[in-house]
Structure 1
């Protein structure tokens, strides 16, 4: 029975493509400290879309082998559907973000929406590779190609984090009258004595020193700074309630050195955890700037 199944190359190709496509989506779909996607309904939605993407990729290759070129149109329809998924995620997260004590911000939301669209294309790629090699050679070559495509998908899933572009260190938080400083970086004016006492007791100060001119411009981006504050507040908690602007986490630049001073007021004051959390904050694609690549950028000869 197994030999009969393996002799039907088209069926084997579809099954292999479907298996590795679904496996890729399962691996790429993980709920982490950001609690997104939510469990279980958010996962059900994205897993259903992942199965559809895997089926499209698995079926497209045998259809093209049979010279059924209209199969390509199904891929274009799928691309439109996945763009709609991106819009859906953007709208949903924008609505939810209104209820956050420390918001994600538009740049972070756009990055998350882009990731969910892109991962469906990685699923199609994985299923197509597994299906193609199963049809051209044998099922075990399809399995090898599926595994290789899965590793490629994982590589493209992972992006840079803050630890790769900045050096992170803790620093003192001090108050000079109503003026609040993180290290030597001025943060804000705190008017109420009760707020100053709370900040002196609970605050943690962090410095993110850029490793190069590209990193300096990247961390100056307001969307990247908001992502840092949101992730730190998600991991460490935030010691505030609504209507307390003086207790809002903040990030300000030293304009001379490009160092980013970060003030956080966590539920549990633990500087080591704050540093570890900051290291893992993703670098947003929309925030990345590379002035050194420009012909007019620094370190370029005239």
Structure 2
């Protein structure tokens, strides 16, 4: 029992580590306190590992510890949300409430993953020993492998799609109409830029971005319509490439606008380094938020460039 219990904890910790690596890729500037995450993973894994022998001994009252753990993990989510919201005022480009809620929810769900993987590892061990009468070492090997397989399955299931999966990203020209009205690609009226030096900075250092829904799909376009998703794209650009502005220069805050002709999104962005490939990659790598999905379901069979159904 002692050996499989510790193996269950280790598998739970490994599952958290592989998800921690994924989180850092999807949320590159997300504050990450490794020690606190691993301590929470240890607690969650211990609960999962202890649950199996408790059920075998018919100690059903021990299940109440799961409710206490769930409450604690919800508190972790609340604390993470508050931390990120407190940092908003110091950001040159805001994350937005939708992006903050997505990150906080991610922190909560990852702890449940530790419980599931450690529970399966220990449960598989007891099942093999009792039903198939295999030796302890063989049972431990099989249960360990099962736990690792589940960890990677959950990693794949919980991995979020990115903007690159639902949209094409291209670079377009930034220009000015009537001296002060910004035009990005074919969309005019993004914003007004009154100072000549600001317009010159946009022309020399700025990058115009067009995000076009793939397959002319309203399903993909509806994700880009979401204001929280647009703000997440703008923040992802800022977090990966920086933004060439001071806090008192509102003209350089990226403002994503919808282009009704093809339902694309236009953004004028001034990165610290004008690298076209990095800009495109930053947009494509932005995770799709849960809050932006599931809209315009009645239009799922329609194409953007057609009046009839597909």
TM over 0.5: yes
Aligned to 1:34: 28
- C-alpha separation in 1, matches of 2:141 and 2:34: 30
Aligned to 1:3: none
Aligned to 1:99: 90
Residue 53 of structure 2 corresponds to residue 62 of structure 1: yes
Residue 286 of structure 2 corresponds to residue 285 of structure 1: no
Residue 209 of structure 2 corresponds to residue 206 of structure 1: yes
- C-alpha separation in 2, matches of 1:35 and 1:239: 18
Residue 45 of structure 2 corresponds to residue 46 of structure 1: no
Query: 7, 22, 27: which is aligned to 1:16?
Result: 7
Pairwise mapping of residues 214-293 of structure 1 onto structure 2 (< 5 A)? 214-292=219-297
State the 1:297 CA deviation.
5.8
C-alpha contact (below 8 Å) 1:252/1:262 kept by paired residues:
yes
- C-alpha separation in 2, matches of 1:284 and 1:248: 21
- C-alpha separation in 1, matches of 2:211 and 2:294: 17
1:151-179: CA deviations, max 9, x gaps? 12211331110011111111111112101
Residue 184 of structure 2 corresponds to residue 182 of structure 1: yes
1:257-281: CA deviations, max 9, x gaps? 2110011100101111101111111
- C-alpha separation in 2, matches of 1:151 and 1:166: 27
Aligned residue-pair number = 287
Question: Which secondary structure does the structure 2 equivalent of 1:174 belong to?
Answer: strand
1:221-246: CA deviations, max 9, x gaps? 11001100111011111000001111
State the 1:11 CA deviation.
2.2
User: Which stretch of the first structure deviates more once superposed, 146-155 or 24-33?
Assistant: 24-33
- C-alpha separation in 2, matches of 1:157 and 1:73: 27
Which segments of structure 1 move beyond 4 Å, counting only runs of 4 or more?
296-301
1:20-67: CA deviations, max 9, x gaps? 0011112222344623233xxx11111111100000001111111111
Query: 100, 108, 114: which is aligned to 1:123?
Result: 114
1:159-211: CA deviations, max 9, x gaps? 11001111111111111210111101131111111111111111101111112
C-alpha contact (below 8 Å) 1:16/1:134 kept by paired residues:
no
- C-alpha separation in 1, matches of 2:28 and 2:94: 12
- C-alpha separation in 2, matches of 1:192 and 1:71: 67
Query: 193, 218, 221: which is aligned to 2:196?
Result: 193
Normalising by structure 2, what TM-score? Answer: 0.89
Aligned to 1:5: none
Aligned to 1:163: 164
C-alpha contact (below 8 Å) 1:13/1:135 kept by paired residues:
no
Normalising by structure 1, what TM-score? Answer: 0.91
- C-alpha separation in 1, matches of 2:31 and 2:40: 14
C-alpha contact (below 8 Å) 1:17/1:128 kept by paired residues:
yes
**Any unmatched runs of 5+ in structure 1?**
1-9
Aligned to 2:305: none
**Any unmatched runs of 5+ in structure 2?**
129-138, 303-307
